[in-house]
């Protein structure tokens, strides 16, 4: 029975043990090819960007900073369904659901809301799957140039609702621009 019949894909091949020539056995040719590659790159112009002075241009499809959106009335859209946390391949999102109280009607759209919503930015790979999975369009990756501030403490990279929820004045401004269009 041949290997192609055993293999499901038909791409497996038999490996032959071919005898090496003298030049191959002393590795001179391979070493010379490696040195040639090193010399070729040694005299090329460096492609370094002096960061604070020069800023690299971002891709137009880059999605960077996370934001929890508000609706037209300024209420949080997130209903703590957990689909964003389930779709996250890095398991960076954690949330805890809670029931809305009578005096919190002006804050949340539905009876259920995310009491705790955290994204661990050290784990996040900025894939955007959380944004695609959300049925309420509550989480959004913005096009801002700001990704994550640098820091020395691990707790600084766990973004809670205080850093993620869209500011109320920005939500009102978005509503005004959408109604004008």
pTM score, two decimals?
0.64
Query: What's the count of helices (H) and strands (E) in the chain, helices before strands?
Result: 7, 5
- pLDDT tens figures, 77-99: 888 888 999 999 999 999 998 88
- pLDDT tens figures, 127-137: 889 999 999 89
Which position has the higher pLDDT, 121 or 6?
Answer: 121
Distance (Å, rounded) from C-alpha 70 to C-alpha 20?
69
Q: Write down the pLDDT at residue 148.
A: 75
Side-chain half-sphere exposure of 78, counting CA atoms within 13 A: 26
Q: Give 7's pLDDT tier (boundaries 50, 70, 90).
A: low
Q: Give 175's pLDDT tier (boundaries 50, 70, 90).
A: low
Average pLDDT, the chain: 83
């Amino acid at each position: 029975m041949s290997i192609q019949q055993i293999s499901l894909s038909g791409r497996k091949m038999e490996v032959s043990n071919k005898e090496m020539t003298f030049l191959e056995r002393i590795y001179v040719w391979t070493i010379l090819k490696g040195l040639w590659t090193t010399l070729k790159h040694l005299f090329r112009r460096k492609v370094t960007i002096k960061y604070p002075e020069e800023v690299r241009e971002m891709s137009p499809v880059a999605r960077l900073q996370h934001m929890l959106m508000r609706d037209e009335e300024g209420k949080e859209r997130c209903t703590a369904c957990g689909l964003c946390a389930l779709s996250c391949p890095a398991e960076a999102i954690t949330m805890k659901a809670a029931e809305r109280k009578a005096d919190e009607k002006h804050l949340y759209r539905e009876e259920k809301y995310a009491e705790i919503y955290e994204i661990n930015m050290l784990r996040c790979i900025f894939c955007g799957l959380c944004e695609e999975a959300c049925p309420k369009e509550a989480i959004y990756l913005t096009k801002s140039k700001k990704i994550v501030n640098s820091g020395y403490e691990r707790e600084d990279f766990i973004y809670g609702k205080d850093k993620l929820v869209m500011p109320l004045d920005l939500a009102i401004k978005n509503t005004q621009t959408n109604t004008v269009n």
